[in-house]
């Protein structure tokens, strides 16, 4: 099975902006999410965006006055971020998000891990390590914000086929398969070429991480945690270091 990094580099990265409705619409949606967060110290603060992708949150953050450290393992998505950011203060680093602390030059006012990125981690121990590192990297009053999908309830039968986006030239459908602690996400991509439709399929593993379990880990290291409804059916956790 492909790792998340390979799945993105060989399959998903080239259609990711399209999947999100195009850059303009995605950045507008990201800006609305950022505005709702009312992050401490913005403008002016350093914010680390872990698994930043093409900058759906990093770019609106920088537009609102933050200096952003954007970390992602996909060079293609970071390349798009770099094109979209213009002169905005976003520093792009191609790295594993678990290593984010080694790229910080000062304590960040906030750390974000948005868009279901945390479930891309390989196992629960990696999530625990991320939570501990985020707590120790933040100053008092700093926040760690995560948005994730709750895969703890299994979809069954036809409900496991999820139409993601389609237009005249492309169709993307997800198929979900469950194991005890993971969901295998099959991304089925149909592209229309001059000679007809071409189908490519790739799959990768996401953690089934019940939000209550993540909240327990966040609270165990010392965060005060607020659970809210995120966009598109995601769960948003706002963890503040007291
Ligand atoms: C679902 S996308 C979310 C992107 C962005 N946060 C957003 O909301 O649009 C997950 C992103 O995390 C990145 N990613 C996954 N695992 C990673 C890891 N271990 N280290 C760094 N980036 C990772 C992927 O390349 C991808 O850009």
Helix axes 211-221, 124-137, angle to 10 degrees: 40
Tens-digit pLDDT profile for residues 147-156: 999 999 999 9
Q: Are residues 101 and 142 in the same domain?
A: yes
Predicted TM-score (pTM) of the model is: 0.96
Q: Strand, helix or coil at 137?
A: helix
Q: What is the CATH number of the domain that holds 23?
A: 3.40.50.150
- CB contact at 8 A, 111 and 77: no
For residue 187, the domain's CATH number is 3.10.450.700
Query: What does the pLDDT average to over 32-50?
Result: 88
Provide φ and ψ at 177, rounded to 5°: -130, 135
Walk across the sheet containing 196-207 and list its strands.
161-166, 170-178, 182-193, 196-207
Ligand 1 and 211: CB distance under 6 A? no
Domain count, the chain: 2
Determine whether the shortest distance from the Cβ of 47 to ligand 1 is under 6 A. Answer: no
Same domain, 192 and 222: no
141 with 198, same domain: the answer is: no
Average pLDDT (175-179) is 97
Q: Is 160 exposed, middle or buried (0-12, 13-18, 19+ CB in 10 A)?
A: middle
Residue 191 and residue 104 in one domain: no
Closest CA to ligand 1's atom 3: 115
CA distances to 56, 163, 165, 193 from 169, in Å: 24, 15, 11, 8
Instruction: Compute, in angstroms, the gap from residue 72 CA to the centroid of ligand 1.
Output: 6
Q: Which atom of ligand 1 is nearest to the CA of 117?
A: 10
β-strand partners of 15: none
Q: Are residues 114 and 10 in the same domain?
A: yes
Distance in Å, CA 11 to ligand 1 centroid: 14
pLDDT at 87: 96
Secondary structure class of 216 (helix, strand, coil) = helix
Residue 136 lies in domain: 4-150+210-240
Tokens of 184: 């295998």
């Amino acid at each position: 099975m492909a790792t998340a990094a390979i799945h993105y580099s060989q399959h998903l990265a080239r259609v990711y902006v399209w999947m999100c409705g195009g850059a303009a619409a995605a950045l507008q949606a990201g800006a609305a999410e950022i505005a709702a967060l009312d992050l401490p110290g913005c403008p002016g603060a350093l914010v680390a965006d872990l698994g930043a992708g093409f900058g759906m949150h990093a770019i609106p953050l920088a537009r609102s006055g933050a200096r952003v450290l954007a970390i992602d393992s996909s060079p293609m998505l970071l390349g798009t971020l770099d094109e979209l950011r213009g002169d905005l203060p976003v520093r792009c680093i191609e790295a594993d998000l678990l290593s984010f602390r080694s790229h910080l030059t000062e304590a960040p006012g906030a750390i974000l891990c948005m868009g279901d990125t945390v479930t891309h981690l390989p196992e629960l121990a990696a999530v625990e390590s991320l939570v501990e590192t985020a707590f120790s990297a933040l100053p008092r009053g700093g926040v760690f914000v995560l948005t994730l999908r709750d895969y703890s309830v299994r979809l069954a039968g036809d409900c496991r086929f999820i139409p993601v986006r389609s237009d005249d030239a492309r169709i993307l459908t997800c198929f979900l398969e469950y194991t005890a602690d993971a969901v295998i996400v099959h991304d089925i991509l149909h592209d229309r070429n001059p000679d007809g439709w071409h189908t490519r399929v790739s799959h990768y593993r996401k953690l089934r991480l019940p939000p209550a379990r993540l909240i327990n880990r966040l609270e165990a290291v010392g965060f005060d945690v607020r659970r809210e409804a995120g966009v598109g059916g995601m769960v948003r956790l706002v963890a503040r270091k007291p």
